[in-house]
Structure 1
Amino acid sequence: MPTMTRSKMKRDDQQWVLDWIVKTTGRVQNLANDERDLPKEVKSYRMIPRVLYKEARHIEGIAKAAEAAGHTDTARQLYRRASQVYHEAQHSIFEDDNKEKIFLHSKHIECADKVAAYADYPIEKVEIPWEGVQIQGRFHLLRDRRKAPAVLFLPGMDMTKEAFPNPLANPFLRRGMHVLSIDGPGQGMSNIRKIRVSDDNYERAAMAAIDWLVSRPEVDPTQIVISGISFGCHWGVRTAAIDKRVRALATTYAVVGPKKAIFGEASPRFKQMFMYMAGQTDEAEFDAMAEKMDTAGFAERINCPTLLTMGEYDPLCHLEAAVDFFDELKCPKELWVLENEFHRISLREGIGGIEIYPYIADWLRDELDGKHPKTLNKTILVKQKSGLGPYEAPTDSLNIPR
């Protein structure tokens, strides 16, 4: 295949603005959040790969020393951190056959392999056949490999299959579920292999992953659920609408409805990244593709119980779009809106300071155990600094006064 040059966008002329934002905020996206994602040494976007490479190399060096000393628990924590930083280093390079990107991605995988080797349960790196190519996944199994429900985890556009679940704290396994996380089209290893994402092929890859799960003796084929984060929410919604084998759907960092907010209003970094994932260099062609990346008409086709969670002021998926989608659902359904949160639920004050994932896993486990009524239909406002988190009583309105 030909080498792809970086996609050109109208907003590329304003790269200096993104460089200034990177320098002052330490972020390239989700700019409403206060915490820095990047070290202060990063003064421009082009510095990201090399600054983070140095950080990751340092962490990996300590991991190797801990491993040599026989301190494997410490080593696996360090390898986990190194893998994450290597991922962020390679993720900012939007170019095929780039030697630095390939090297950094290989280090990301190498460190993740170390974490898997030292995990407390089996983790298999698997290849899933799909439309003439192979989609790579990591299959996290319960220790005894018993037949049990399985979660198909669909990462967001800025994630790889190594990002979640964390082998050192896997909320799904703790609740008796196997987990398969995949690099769908445009993600991680698929990106390196030039397996591009289109407006509708990710859900076909997800269905191939369900085929693969059904073939595994450890998986109860009647108990396959999907969890998706960010753009994985979009893909999860469309997959659940098409594939009736999906027993339940639970998503967070919602991305439903049209994609004008994420590709036309938010940081240009989102559009740059997705054009690369799609192998698109023509912005007009990409815009035409993005018009098709809607969830309109899919909600009413979902039969399985569905949970949607999001920040009240998510700039990538406005609350109004999520409510419209939720209203279209005809299945048992639940919506959690986290007060004063944005796309990345980072403050976490409304959920007691922990991540959202354990709550998602609890909801899926409760659904599999038959604890939700068939008439489930509730909206919960998770208040920022008071209340009972997602255990709060349902609300009749998300509007003011409330």
Structure 2
Amino acid sequence: MLQLGFNDPQFEVWAQRALMNIAEGGCELGEVLSLAPRIPAGDTDIWYREWCALANRLYEQAGECRNKGHLISARQLYQRAATYYRTSYPLLFGAPTDPRVLEAYRNEARTFHCATQLFSPPIEVQTMPFENTTLPGYFYSGGHGKRPLLICTNGYDDTLHTMHYAHAVSAQRRGYHVLTFDGPGQGAPLIEHGLTLRPDWENVVGAVLDHILTRPDIDASKVALTGWSFGGFLAPRAAAGEPRIKALIADPGQWDMTAAIAGMLKRMGAEDLVAALPNVPEEANAPIMQAIEHNPALKWTLVQRGFWVHGVSSFTEYVKALAEFTVSDCVHQIQCPAFITQAENDPIAGAADVLFNAIEAPKTFKRFTAQEGAGDHCEAMARSVYHQHAYDWLDTLFKD
């Protein structure tokens, strides 16, 4: 198993996540390794400080290169700086929002934007009307003329800037127009505006489509939607309610969240609460929270991230909020072809086959394995293996 030398399991996980960006110039292994000896286990203050210091140094170098006309070097430095700003703050998630999260997110967004303007062609900022606010996005041109469009939706804890590496560049290289965006509960809508996650993702994607399909260079008969991580739930939900989606990719496929909650309670030794779902009794809050407090990873997942993203303050409220995230009641409405993934070592992908079996439209199931280097969550350590299979499928589907 890969080890980068961070003496803390959560630090190791988040440092490894940055490595996914290496292939497209968004990270350097040596820069990540250089931080490990300087960050003591459990010290999130130093973690934040060191990652930001690295990012600040690269940002300053990028400006110097840009001023001297070294635009490729400047772009690469901006890309890496944005990744390191991004890595600095997720471990500080929670309500109320830590000012450092807001500062680092703004630095991430500003720095990534500097990089986008140095690509050829430049990546275009999108501001999409949604209810009483707007959603941020980026449009990547696949070339001249009318082309298929791939819309990319996030999950719980990444931002549209990370989707540059996870989705956009590889699809753009194949000639697709690409749109990345963050919706409620993600990126700027959450961090800047306090918009929490919502189950009716068909309405979110509908607003995105209303905006982007005004472009004359998009072939509206070839619009695909892909979602990764929790986006593997959100994308099928959106496709079920939005007929303008002509192809669906869920990486990994997911099912109703009540089933996921039941599995979590069993792992916590609280099997007696499963039968009551989603109405966990209030008196269960204290013992469950006590168990969570003794598990840093679980505390981050449920309290710092989960409570914050859903806008709740107790475990019982969290369960009720998650229970609203259902796809079983609308999966039969998915009319477009679907590509559903499952990585063998990804616990979040456990119900991918349930989603796949329930879809009545033409469908393909792809299981990624550790043997091919792609057995982890969202194939993060071998993302090009995912691109090969998912985008080859899409190429075949949209072939004239």
Work out whether the TM-score is over 0.5.
Answer: yes
How far is 1:338 from its partner?
Answer: 1.3
How far the C-alpha of 1:214 sits from its partner, in A, is 1.7
Q: Does 1:123 align with 2:123?
A: yes
**Structure 1 residue 58 and structure 2 residue 57: aligned?**
yes
- C-alpha displacement at 1:25, in angstroms? 6.2
- Give the equivalent residue in structure 2 for 1:270: 301
Which has the larger displacement, 134-143 or 224-233?
A: 134-143
Secondary structure at 2:183 match in 1: coil
Whether 1:369 aligns to 2:399 is yes
Name the CA distance, whole Å, in 1 between partners of 2:176 and 2:220: 12
Q: Secondary structure at the match of 1:172?
A: helix
The superposition leaves residues 33-77 of structure 1 with CA deviations (integer Å, 9 ceiling, x where unpaired) of x99988422521523322211121122233223323322112211
Q: Does 1:112 align with 2:112?
A: yes
Q: Is the 8 A contact 2:201 2:237 kept in 1?
A: no
Per the TM alignment, residue 360 of structure 1 is displaced from its structure 2 partner at its CA by 2.1
Deviation at 1:31? 10
Q: Give, as a single letter, the amino acid of the residue that structure 2 aligns with 1:87.
A: R
In the TM superposition, residue 201 of structure 1 has moved relative to its aligned partner by 3.7
Deviation at 1:225, TM superposition (A): 0.9
Q: Does 1:324 align with 2:358?
A: no
User: 5+ unaligned residues in a row in structure 1: which ranges?
Assistant: 1-20, 371-402
Instruction: Give, as a single letter, the amino acid of the residue that structure 1 aligns with 2:42.
Output: S
Of 206-215 and 169-178, the range deviating more from structure 2:
169-178
Compared with structure 1, are the counterparts of its residues 355 and 118 closer, same or farther at alpha carbon in structure 2 (3 Å cutoff)?
A: farther
Within 5 Å, give how 1:145-160 maps onto structure 2.
Answer: 146-160=145-159
Are positions 1:44 and 2:42 aligned together?
yes
In the alignment, is residue 141 of structure 1 matched against residue 175 of structure 2?
Answer: no
Contact 1:305/1:332, CA 8 A, preserved across alignment: yes
In structure 1, the residue corresponding to 2:134 is in which secondary structure?
Answer: strand
Question: Match of 1:311?
Answer: 343
1:261–1:316 Cα contact (<8 Å) kept: no
Quickly say closer, same or farther: Cα 1:29–1:296, change in 2 above 3 A: farther
1:180-209 alpha-carbon deviations (Å, 9 max, x no partner) = 111110111111333423442433211110
Q: Does 1:26 align with 2:11?
A: yes
More helix by share: 2
Residues 333 and 268 of structure 1, relative CA distance in 2, 3 Å threshold: farther
How far, CA to CA, are the matches of 2:263 and 2:227 in structure 1? 17
Gaps of 5+ in 2: 1-5, 21-28, 268-296
**Residue 336 (structure 1) shift:** 0.8
Q: Is the 8 A contact 1:29 1:267 kept in 2?
A: no
What is the aligned partner in structure 2 of residue 242 from structure 1?
241
What secondary structure does 2:308 align onto?
helix
Q: 1:22 to 1:308 in 2, by over 3 A?
A: farther
Cα distance, 1:180–1:354 mapped onto 2, change above 3 Å: closer
Any idea what the Cα deviations from partners look like across 1:110-130, whole Å, max 9, x if unmatched?
A: 111111110112322121111
Give the 3-state SS of the residue equivalent to 2:231 in structure 1: helix
Whether the 8 Å CA contact 2:251–2:378 is kept in 1: the answer is no
CA distance in 2, matches of 1:29, 1:167: 16
CA distance in 2, matches of 1:281, 1:338: 36
Would the aligned equivalents of 1:183 and 1:190 in 2 still touch at CA under 8 Å?
A: yes
Asked if the contact 2:342/2:366 (under 8 Å) is kept, the reply is yes
Structure 1 residues 50 and 201: alpha-carbon distance in aligned structure 2, compared to 1, 3 A threshold? farther
Residues 31 and 53 (structure 1 numbering): CA distance in 2 closer, same or farther, change over 3 Å?
Answer: closer
Shift in Å, 1:249? 0.7
Cα shift readout 1:106-165 (whole Å, capped 9, x = no counterpart): 110111111111011232212111111111111112343x22211110022221111122
Aligned match of 2:377 in 337, 343, 361?
343
Q: Is the 8 A contact 1:311 1:342 kept in 2?
A: yes
Secondary structure of residue in 2 paired with 1:354: helix
Q: Cα–Cα, structure 1 residues 261 and 179, in superposed 2: closer, same or farther, change >3 Å?
A: farther
User: Aligned partners of 1:178, 1:101: CA distance in 2, in Å?
Assistant: 31
TM (normalized to structure 2)? 0.77
Amino acid in structure 2 at the alignment position of 1:193: E
Q: Give the aligned partner of residue 312 of structure 2.
A: 280
Give, in whole Å, the separation in 2 of the partners of 1:253 and 1:88: 23
Inter-CA distance 65–275: structure 2 relative to 1 (3 Å threshold): same
Alignment TM-score, normalising by the size of structure 1: 0.76
Deviations 1:279-324 (A, max 9, x none): 2222211111112223323332211000011211211231xx2112
Does residue 185 in structure 1 map to residue 170 in structure 2? no
> Does the CA contact (< 8 Å) of 1:204 and 1:239 recur in 2?
yes
